[in-house]
Amino acid sequence: MKKLICVLLVVVFALSLVACGDVGKQGKKDFIGIILPTKEESRWLNDQKYFEEYFKGMNYEILFSQNNSATEKTNVETFISKGAKVIVLCAYDAAAAASAVNEASKEGITVISYDRLIMGTDKLDYYVTFDSCSVGKAQADYLVEKAGSEKGINLYMYSGALTDNNSVLFFEGAWKVLQPKIADGTFVVRNCEKAIQFKDKNNLTREEMVSIMQTIDSEWNMERCKSLAEANLTAAGDKGKGKVYVLGPADDDCCRALSDAFLADPKVTELKITGADGVEASVQYIIDGKQSMTVYKDTQALVKATKQIIEALQKGEKPKTDTVYNNDAKDVPTIQADVVTVTADNIAEIFFESGVYDGSKYTGWK
Ligand code: BGC
């Protein structure tokens, strides 16, 4: 009798595994390796939190690459040796990551580029991302709207890390909107000779954009932002102070570092500065007017999109995607998520009433 019960239990257990739908040949759930760029930037801690929430019950592990290509490569190799079926990779270096993708692909692993597009490999399978061009556009729209019909406003521009393809997209989105307003004298660029050189050209080539960005590269690093801002203010002198507008490099951490540096200069009397991500540390800054806006990326959307692709693959179905991104080697099937602009005027609705953040922790927003 005991034996029979045991056999029955084993059968029930085996059936329950099959019913899960994500069981590999070895009877174990398919292993998924997730690699995020760093724990030092708040954005990625949000992604980690949501992977842990939405991937509960799945067989996964998260590694961080500490903004280092060698560590990133080792992380991919670790997951290959652990028999991963899928690797979700948010690359520190868009170009360097290509060889790791190729290695994984040789082992039959599906690679999903997460948030940042891995460039120059036709072995990349999928991409999940926010619409980065629209992030840059939203930042620039904000500055242009605030400028109104005024002329001669000091403008400082900063770009994301050049290792990150998103930085080009952010810049492209912003440049298309800002350029006519630089050309007509609404804005006077105070920290970037290259941008002034191109002030009459709206459609820049990638090389032209990169040539501008090289002189204003934040490297996605707060210390670097602080020192860039201080050097830029010193070089600009008094004529570049007073009313100051700043195109931040589409990252709230960088935005706060820049804001602190600009506001530390007593000759800066008014500051409008743009961020992106919508991280918790920026909430009070936005309420206090030390950060004028953020472009909120609900990272749950990316995590859910990633899960959707993986689940389709596990069922042997073709994952549904909504667009393609070209990575210089192929058109990568992509799921793209939308973003929303948050200012002090709608922060209560977007962040507090919807439960993203706890409004009772903050002062001055009612
Ligand atoms: C991401 C941003 C992030 C930045 C710095 C970009 O690729 O899209 O959300 O703030 O990297 O980590």
**Rounded Cα–Cα distance for residues 10 and 51 (Å):** 31
pLDDT for the residue 183: 98
Q: Who's near 15: CB < 8 A, 6+ residues apart?
A: none
Q: What is the pLDDT of residue 336?
A: 98
Give yes or no for residue 55 CB within 6 A of ligand 1: no
* The pLDDT of residue 3: 55
Ligand 1 atom at minimal distance to the Cα of residue 115: 8
The ligand 1 atom at the shortest distance from the C-alpha of residue 135 is: 8
Helices (H) and strands (E) in the chain, counts: 13, 13
Question: To the nearest 10°, the Cα dihedral for 341, 259, 283, 245?
Answer: -30
Ligand 1 centre to CA of 242 (Å) is 30
| pLDDT for residue 5 | 53
C-alpha 249/C-alpha 254 separation (Å) is 7
Distance 237 CA to ligand 1 centre (A): 31
What pLDDT score was predicted for residue 16?
Answer: 42
Q: Which domains does the chain have, with CATH numbers?
A: 27-124+299-337 (3.40.50.2300), 132-296+341-361 (3.40.50.2300)
- Cα–Cα distances in Å, from 274 out to 124, 211, 291, 350? 32, 22, 7, 17
Looking only at the bridges linking them, the beta strands covering 242-247 and 293-296 are unpaired
Q: Is the CB of 131 under 6 A from ligand 1?
A: no
pLDDT score recorded for residue 365: 84
pLDDT of residue 28: 66
Is any atom of ligand 1 closer than 6 Å to the C-beta of 141? no
Work out the burial of residue 210: count CB atoms within 10 Å of its CB; fewer than 13 is exposed, 13-18 middle, 19 or more buried. middle
CA angle 310, 28, 110 (to 5 degrees): 30
Extract the tokens encoding 327: 């990575």
Residue nearest (by alpha carbon) to ligand 1 atom 3: 251
Tokens of 167: 């930085």
pTM as predicted: 0.92
- Amino acid symbol at 266: P
Mean pLDDT by 10 residues, the chain (366 residues): 51 43 55 97 96 98 97 98 98 96 98 98 98 98 98 98 98 98 98 98 98 97 98 98 98 98 98 98 98 98 98 97 98 98 97 96 87
